[in-house]
Amino acid sequence: MLNNSLIHPEEARKMIRKNQWNGPTAGMCNGYTQANLVILPKDLAFEFLLFCQRNPKSCPVLDVTEPGCSVPALAAPSADLRSDLPSYRIYRNGILTDEVQDIHSYWTDDMTGFLIGCSFSFEQALMQNKIPVRHIEENRNVPMYKTSISCTKAGRFEGPMVVSMRPIPEKDVVRAVQVTSRFPSVHGAPVHIGDPRSIGIESIDTPDFGDAVTIKEGEVPVFWACGVTPQAVVMNVKPKLVITHSPGHMFITDWTDEEFGVL
Amino acid sequence: MLNNSLIHPEEARKMIRKNQWNGPTAGMCNGYTQANLVILPKDLAFEFLLFCQRNPKSCPVLDVTEPGCSVPALAAPSADLRSDLPSYRIYRNGILTDEVQDIHSYWTDDMTGFLIGCSFSFEQALMQNKIPVRHIEENRNVPMYKTSISCTKAGRFEGPMVVSMRPIPEKDVVRAVQVTSRFPSVHGAPVHIGDPRSIGIESIDTPDFGDAVTIKEGEVPVFWACGVTPQAVVMNVKPKLVITHSPGHMFITDWTDEEFGVL
């Protein structure tokens, strides 16, 4: 059997396209950058790109396709966004109506695909620096919370910033800031360190999305802007049709994480 | 007399608005970030923002106004892009037709303003690190060159990258890369170090824009992506009406350069 962590993204996407793989992409193609997908109709594309430009920590744009084009020419010129993710979610008027493995039948000429940076990349950087990532250790989903931090509005798009939380040992907090600061394209530095109430989180044990994780004695909760933010903001607007990846079923690009290091 | 280098941006913009200052902005409001301005009709805004997203070294976007709104809400919420720059250029169908000090009479409800990072900011960083900036020493315009590097196309926008050149003493080249890498929002790290012919520049003594500067024994030409790139690319498309700042007459934001440091 192939070891999925060692195959090249092109190989992985080919497997996915042929429906030989429809599971989550975590751990696949080690070192290569995975991305969130949001597909929107053209008439919302400018406003959404503006929203991303104004909220780069929550919405770090990696690539945007021309309207009607399903090839992410920068991220992976041999890929097709209509078939190369293991699972997609179809939202009509903001409501999840279907989960599918190919979106050719939904695709129209006025659609624009947005690939947005994902936390997998900076978690790699944390682990390579021997900083524990609790939800991976506990084999859970990362805990995510709505905050009292407002995103900067753009056109119809607005809403609260959603953050993910990782408990970090006190001695590693400075290093965690340093190593994730290197990667602004994949959420970058934390947005908050310490008291959850300062950013409007009442109960750290009951996340709004994902699972709670153990916070050990001597660990500090550290919060990063989360890719769920743009999805939540898009759903607020209730567009006629939006397509996203299914949670955990990401797009695997040809870029390596290290290529996004700013120094 | 007021010392323009020490006044606050709000004060400077007020002077400019009242036509009490219509000269270049170099040296004004020390430490605050100055920006290039491009105003485009709404129907080109998405493509241009996409072009900037795909070419962040040439086109580092600092702020974009909503169509019809002349207030750059992030860069300077008390400012008005129609009056707060000392001089503007009006281009019709790609041809310079007028140079004015206020654009109220040209402004329409479908216009979108783009503020783009400028080299003044990283030159400050170089000088604070005691790295010489030759064109400032020689009181000339920075030399700029068209290169053989193609920008990544977006919609109708395409063209070669334009670079600026600064001769750097060999012993300072590494430090010049480090200090400018901290500021990706204002062109960031160099795009090339050394032989000009490698990026399609035949004669370093005859720049395409600006003035030639002295390259001393033991100095290496170092090239940065230049904010002239987006202007050249826009003019290629020959939109009916485009408004930009006049060269050297920039928009002064409320941000400090240090706020853009990635670490």
- pLDDT tens digits for range A198-220: 999 999 999 999 999 999 999 99
Q: Is the sign of the CA dihedral B196, B200, B203, B205 positive or negative?
A: negative
Cβ-Cβ contacts under 8 Å between A and B: the total is 48
Give pLDDT tens digits for B177-222. 999 999 999 999 999 999 999 999 999 999 999 999 999 999 999 9
The answer to whether the Cβ–Cβ distance between A182 and B263 falls below 8 Å is yes
Interface check B150 vs A, CB under 8 A: no
Q: Which two tokens stand for residue A168?
A: 């970090």
Name every chain B residue with its beta carbon within 8 A of the beta carbon of A61. 53
Which domains, from first to last, does chain B contain? Answer: 9-118+237-260 (3.40.1640.10), 120-229 (3.30.2040.10)
DSSP per-residue string spanning B225-236: E-THHHHHHHHH
ipTM above 0.90, yes or no: no
The pLDDT of residue B263? 80
Residue burial B182-220, b: 16+ Cβ < 10 Å; e: rest? bbbbbbbbbbbbeebeebebeebeebebbebbebeeebb
CA A114 to chain B, closest CA, distance in angstroms equals 11
Residue corresponding to tokens 């400077």: B12
Q: How many CA atoms lie within 13 A of A252 on its CB side?
A: 30
The pLDDT of residue B1? 47
**Nearest CB to B46: which of A45, A61, A181?**
A45
pLDDT at residue A44 is higher than 80: yes
Averaged over A58-76, what is the pLDDT? Answer: 96
Residue burial A18-38, b: 16+ Cβ < 10 Å; e: rest? eeebeeebeebbeebbbbbbb
- Amino acid code (one letter) for A154: A
What is the distance between the alpha carbons of residues A167 and A193, in angstroms, rounded to a whole number?
A: 10
What is the distance between the alpha carbons of residues B94 and B108, in angstroms, rounded to a whole number?
A: 18
Q: Report which of A139, A100, A90, A122 is spatially closest to residue A240, judged by C-alpha positions.
A: A90
Give pLDDT tens digits for A112-162. 999 999 999 999 999 999 999 999 999 999 999 999 999 999 999 999 999
Name every chain B residue with its beta carbon within 8 A of the beta carbon of A72. none
What is the distance between the alpha carbons of residues A231 and A120, in angstroms, rounded to a whole number?
A: 17
Name every chain A residue with its beta carbon within 8 A of the beta carbon of B74. 54, 152
What is the distance between the alpha carbons of residues A193 and A23, in angstroms, rounded to a whole number?
A: 33
Give pLDDT tens digits for B114-150. 999 999 999 999 999 999 999 999 999 999 999 999 9
The answer to whether the Cβ–Cβ distance between B61 and A50 falls below 8 Å is no
Of chain A residues 28-47, which have a CB less than 8 A from chain B? 45-46
- Judged on CB neighbours under 10 Å (0-12, 13-18, 19+), A217 is exposed
Contact B150, B229 (CB under 8 A): no
Q: SS3 of B17, please?
A: helix
**Nearest CB to B184: which of A45, A64, A262?**
A262
Name every chain B residue with its beta carbon within 8 A of the beta carbon of A64. 50, 53-54
Q: How many CA atoms lie within 13 A of A216 on its CB side?
A: 9
Interface check B69 vs A, CB under 8 A: no
The answer to whether the Cβ–Cβ distance between B50 and A50 falls below 8 Å is no
Q: Decide the pairing of beta strands B88-92 and B111-117.
A: unpaired
Neighbouring-strand partners of residue B245: B88
pLDDT mean across residues, chain B: 95
Which chain B residue has the Cα nearest residue A60? Answer: B53
Q: Which two tokens stand for residue B257?
A: 């350069």
The pLDDT of residue A2? 62
The C-alpha angle with vertex B72 and arms to B68 and B75, in degrees rounded to 5, equals 165
Averaged over A239-259, what is the pLDDT? Answer: 95
The pLDDT of residue B3? 81
What is the distance between the alpha carbons of residues B91 and A88, in angstroms, rounded to a whole number?
A: 45
pLDDT at residue B262 is higher than 90: no
Name every chain B residue with its beta carbon within 8 A of the beta carbon of A181. 262-263
CA B18 to chain A, closest CA, distance in angstroms equals 30
Contact B198, B165 (CB under 8 A): no
Q: What are phi and psi of B71, to 5 degrees?
A: -100, 120
**Nearest CB to B152: which of A74, A155, A184?**
A74
The pLDDT of residue B2? 62
Kindly indicate the confidence band of residue A223, based on its pLDDT and cuts at 50, 70 and 90. Answer: very high
Neighbouring-strand partners of residue B21: none
The pLDDT of residue A180? 96
Cα A143 off chain centre by: 14
The answer to whether the Cβ–Cβ distance between A74 and B184 falls below 8 Å is no
Neighbouring-strand partners of residue A40: A112
Contact B112, B71 (CB under 8 A): no
Interface check B64 vs A, CB under 8 A: yes
What is the distance between the alpha carbons of residues A164 and A24, in angstroms, rounded to a whole number?
A: 19
Interface check B158 vs A, CB under 8 A: no
The answer to whether the Cβ–Cβ distance between B262 and A181 falls below 8 Å is yes
